[in-house]
Chains A and B, each alone.
Chain A
């Protein structure tokens, strides 16, 4: 069962543009993580958000956790080719025993 839906599934933009990726669920999560995965590599953790309404900024990336802890968004400002990759959200089950990963958003930033 896929608990986390990401949108859009694919995104191709020009360098310098802004974009937002969404991660939605009907389930409540105790925390939510965002990863970026490059071809041939494993996912690399970008951020963990744990409090409803929390906003975290990592340089040009802004992450927000929904008030109800069911959804999250990732906003990238002035995208660069180095941002290209597969972005994955992952929610920690409230039972605390595993992460459920989202469907993924494949981002391509064209120079």
Chain B
């Protein structure tokens, strides 16, 4: 069974731009969670989608948004990028929910200049 895939793996943007990241979960998994990982703040929960609906949300500004498609693939969008958005963005999929066993993708490393 293929693992969680994320595209692109690396991305360089400038302040003010927007970016869209993609995550394809393990086949059969309906829950996709997104996390931001930085050296200073560690791994922080952004949001979770289940069956195309956002079910949970962390404490991030509205510039961070996401969506999930009928095939469970998910996208995350960050608008008006700031330098502090530079991070590794990880998605994790699970069968039923955000507190079940999660399988992480390799992440997308975003650098904002």
Residues of chain A whose beta carbon lies under 8 Å from any beta carbon of chain B: 1-2, 30-31, 35, 40-45, 48, 88, 90, 92-93, 96-104
Chain A neighbourhood of B35, CB < 8 A: 101
Residues of B near A102 (CB, < 8 A) are 42
Q: Dominant SS at the A interface? A: loop
Q: Which residues of B contact A90 (CB under 8 A)?
A: 43
Asked if B4 is an interface residue, CB under 8 A from chain A, the answer is: yes
Residues from chain B with a CB closer than 8 A to the CB of A96 are 97, 99
Q: Any chain A CB within 8 A of the CB of B105?
A: yes
Contact residue among A1, A40, A42, A93 (Cβ-Cβ distance under 8 Å from B99): A93
> How big is the B interface, by class?
20 to 34
B77 at the interface (CB under 8 A from A): no
CA distance A31 to B99 in the complex (A): 9
The CB with the most chain B CB atoms within 10 A, among A42, A48, A97, A103, is that of A42
> Which of A30, A48, A88, A97 is close to B101, meaning CB atoms less than 8 Å apart?
A48
Partner of A98 from the list B48, B103, B104 (CB cut-off 8 Å) is B48
**Residues of chain B in range 61-110 having any CB-CB distance to chain A below 8 Å:** 90, 92, 97-99, 101-107
Q: Residue of A at shortest CB range from B47?
A: A98
Q: Residue of B at shortest CB range from A1?
A: B59
Residue of A nearest to B41 (CB): A2
